[in-house]
Amino acid sequence: MPQKITIALAGNPNAGKTTIFNNLTGARQHVGNWPGVTVEKKEGVLKHNDYDIYVVDLPGTYSLTAYSLDEIIARNFVVEESPDVVVNIVDASNLERNLYLTTQFMELGVKLVIALNMSDLAEARGQKIDTKKLSDFLGVPVIPTVGHKNKGTDVLIQTIVDMADGKINLDRVTIGYGEEVEEEIQKIEDLIQRDGALTQGCPSRWLALKLLEGDEEVTKKVTEEET
């Protein structure tokens, strides 16, 4: 029996996510809608050795804060469905802006792989990215890809499988926000941890950060659990 892995593809709009999705799934894909909304949902299947890899293409987003329907859909899938691996498609030529979403996934504590896409465009602009140093800095595997040339796909697939199987162990990186903010995060986190129901599927630190941001969806969830 093939082993099953579920992965979610996530990234900023125009980072080349659709091309990576097509490279992974080929003709083995299905297009429908997310439940209850008219937002397009693309799913596909990739067979790799003894693995059936189920690929879900999340809506393109710049963050996981619940300001738009696309962000809510992407975040809810990751939090509620718990894919085995999240593959974050990052535009190598626009690294700083794209890595904001990356940090959001890091805070969620998911198994994360970065596909550093459009690396050819970055090189053409004279931008040299040390992928090993970036990987060490983030604590996340970083795989260079060129989606429109289907380069890096095989390495990306094997990295996904290794991550799902627990064969990749990089030191987790905690993003710091300065002493004063960290003190407030800790206070909220302590309160959250008193109620085990709140932390099911979500790290207490992530919940604390979202409460500090005034995230309406998280605030609603916490309020409902308390009543």
- CATH label of the domain that carries residue 28: 3.40.50.300
The domain total for the chain is: 2
Phi, psi of 113 (to 5 degrees): -130, 135
Same domain for 27 and 115, yes or no, is yes
Left (φ > 0), alpha (ψ -120 to 50) or beta: where does 186 sit? alpha
b/e for 65-95, b at 16 or more Cβ within 10 A? Answer: bbeeebbbbbbebbbeeebbbbbbbbbbbbe
Evaluate whether residue 172 is within a structural domain. no
Same domain for 188 and 151, yes or no, is no
Evaluate whether residue 108 is within a structural domain. yes
Residues 95-153 have pLDDT tens digits of 999 999 999 999 999 999 999 999 998 989 988 999 999 999 999 999 999 999 999 99
pLDDT, position 205: 92
Evaluate whether residue 88 is within a structural domain. yes
Domain that holds residue 135: 3-164
Same domain for 188 and 141, yes or no, is no
| Cβ–Cβ < 8 Å for 184, 160 | no
Evaluate whether residue 169 is within a structural domain. no
- The gap from C-alpha 35 to its chain's centroid, in whole angstroms, comes to 21
Same domain for 124 and 185, yes or no, is no
| Cβ–Cβ < 8 Å for 40, 195 | no
Alpha-carbon span 129 to 146, nearest angstrom: 14
Query: What mean pLDDT value characterizes the chain?
Result: 92
Same domain for 28 and 126, yes or no, is yes
| Cβ–Cβ < 8 Å for 43, 54 | yes
Evaluate whether residue 96 is within a structural domain. yes
Same domain for 160 and 184, yes or no, is no
Same domain for 76 and 146, yes or no, is yes
Reported pTM: 0.93
Evaluate whether residue 110 is within a structural domain. yes
Same domain for 67 and 106, yes or no, is yes
Alpha-carbon span 218 to 127, nearest angstrom: 38
Residues 8-45 have pLDDT tens digits of 999 999 999 999 999 999 988 999 999 989 999 999 99
Alpha-carbon span 188 to 107, nearest angstrom: 15
